[in-house]
Chains A and B, each alone.
Chain A
Amino acid sequence: MLAKIIAILWKDMLTEFRTREIIVSVFVFALLVMVIFSFAFGTGVDITESIAPGILWVALTFGGVTGLNRIFAVEKENSRLEGLMLCPVDRAVIYWGKLAASFTFMMAVAIVVTPIFLALFNLPLFLPGLALIIVLASLGFAAVGTLFSALAVNTRARDIMLPILFLPVVVPVIIAAVKATAPVLAGRPWADMLIWLQILIAFDIIYVVIATLVFGFVVEE
């Protein structure tokens, strides 16, 4: 099972490495959002806790939607999704492979975008707490986004459909990520963000389990 998940991840990584369709568009989008917001609100110490977390998560969330749209679009061309579905694997394996690819893309973007964000707001570059929040929130985004990307790919207006489906469902993750990021950026102790980390973990588990269970129904009919 793991070998097949890795095979799907490898295939998506190799395709993306050659086309750079997802990474470049997501990166440019996220960067633009951060720069525009930093000009609009300024980058002073006073907004570090109140507005800066929101700016980071708006950039990563909307950038993520742009990338997640492509995750199954690539399988739509040439009926490749049928090729995948013909393989002798449980539908969950296909979901986990695509989830791994979505998560990797989101992390790749975060790894580039977050240091720029921290530099823009004169914050220290090494914030382990923020890294943990990004990993947990990205997993939640990827879990929901991968499922809805599969759902939206067969609709005519898939570019609009995914944000409409995705954003309301990931609101708890966005709120928890913003709330957990604020104390990290303000240099407050870990205890202040612990409850939000627990909420992120809980939603990650819920989303991954539910998406794994319903993915087969989504792609089969």
Chain B
Amino acid sequence: MSKDVAASPAVAVEVEGLEKSFGEHRALRGIDLTVNRGECLVVFGPNGAGKTTLLKILATLMKPSAGSVRLDGIDIRKEPVQIRRRISLVSHQTFLYDDLTVLENLRFYGKMYDVADLEKRIREVVAWVRIESRLHDRTGTLSRGLQQRVSIARAVLHDPSILFLDEPEVGLDPQAGAMVRDVLGTVSSGSRTVVMTTHNLERGLELGDRIVIIDRGKIVYRATRDELSQTDPRQVYNRYTEAGG
């Protein structure tokens, strides 16, 4: 796990009054969130609710229109480069280069992240995601499920303390999805903080220490794991997903 984690504050993700507009369209309308270190926050919501926009802002890929985001106590607007050393993103897009081999892709990203003892680290992460035998294959020749496992290896190569997962199982067949879930379980354990968006309600409820449901850019439901046993988020989820998408 990240060397900086011990020195990091207990709250890993703090979002206050976050807003994002694209012209007239308000994609996020005042999001407030807190995720403690080592927790898993699962974000549900219908298509177009603003889940991906939220993750893109948290991952410093997009600038917010208003509000503040602090990751590991650092303001993402003030120190974006420093933040990027501590975070990673796995989405349904792999960010991999099809014409490079698995090893070449991992070496490239390892160099971009200044990963120390890169070859040793690559051996570690490929063992976690179980792709040792495909290291010299071009990623374009791999199945979608295998590519996603390489993408997970890429994402944890620099040992991020916060991992963002944007519907990582989209486009995978059930078997590949199960394998990716298994691998994600391995890399998400310990003190790593995870923020995940998904449409898979059962899987999300199983993983999440906290859950939120977003609809039209606003949080319409939030609960901790303890509160989940008292209320049933399925009804709320079904109400919004049926209405919105």
Contacts and interface: CB of A to CB of B under 8 A. Distances in A.
Nearest to A90: B81
A7 B108 contact: yes
Interface SS majority for chain A: helix
Interface string B77-105: 00001101101110101111111100010
Contact of A14 (B59, B96, B104): B104
B151 to A, nearest CB: 9
Interface in A73-126: 74, 77-80, 82-90
- Most B CB contacts (10 A, CB to CB) among A10, A86, A87, A89 go to A86
B62 A11 contact: no
B81 A89 contact: yes
B69 to A, nearest CB: 15
Contact of A88 (B82, B89, B94): B82
Contacts of B114: 88
Contacts of B99: 14-15, 18-19
A87 B91 contact: no
A2 B82 CA distance: 18
Given A14-B100, A15-B99, A220-B62, A83 B85 contact: no
B28 to A, nearest CB: 15
A46 interface: no
Binding site secondary structure of chain B: loop
A199 to B, nearest CB: 36
B61 A4 contact: no
B93 A79 contact: yes
Q: Number of contact residues on B: which range applies?
A: 20 to 34
B59 to A, nearest CB: 6
Interface string A2-37: 011001101100110011000000000000000000
B61 A87 contact: no
B128 interface: no
A89 B97 contact: no
A17 to B, nearest CB: 9
Nearest to A4: B112
Nearest to A74: B97
Contacts of A15: 97, 99-100
Given A11-B100, A79-B91, A80-B96, A86 B59 contact: yes
B113 interface: yes
A85 B109 contact: no
A68 to B, nearest CB: 19
Contacts of B100: 11, 14-15
Nearest to A3: B111
B36 interface: no
Contacts of B60: 85-86
A18 B89 CA distance: 28
A75 to B, nearest CB: 9
A83 B95 contact: yes
Given A15-B99, A78-B95, A80-B96, A7 B111 contact: yes
B63 interface: yes
Contact of A79 (B81, B82, B95, B104): B95
A88 B97 contact: no
A83 B97 CA distance: 10
Interface string B57-77: 001111100000000000000
Contacts of A84: 112
Nearest to B88: A86
Contacts of A19: 99
A82 B93 contact: yes
B63 A82 contact: no
Contacts of A78: 93-98
Given A86-B59, A86-B88, A90-B81, A7 B95 contact: no
B108 A86 contact: no
Closest 5 CB pairs between A and B? A83-B95, A79-B93, A88-B84, A87-B112, A7-B111
Interface of B: 59-63, 81-82, 84-85, 87-89, 91, 93-100, 104, 108-109, 111-114, 154
29 contacts: A3-B111, A4-B112, A7-B108, A8-B112, A11-B97, A11-B100, A14-B100, A15-B97, A15-B100, A18-B99, A19-B99, A77-B98, A78-B93, A78-B97, A78-B98, A79-B91, A80-B95, A80-B96, A83-B95, A83-B109, A86-B89, A86-B95, A87-B113, A88-B81, A88-B85, A88-B113, A88-B114, A89-B81, A89-B112
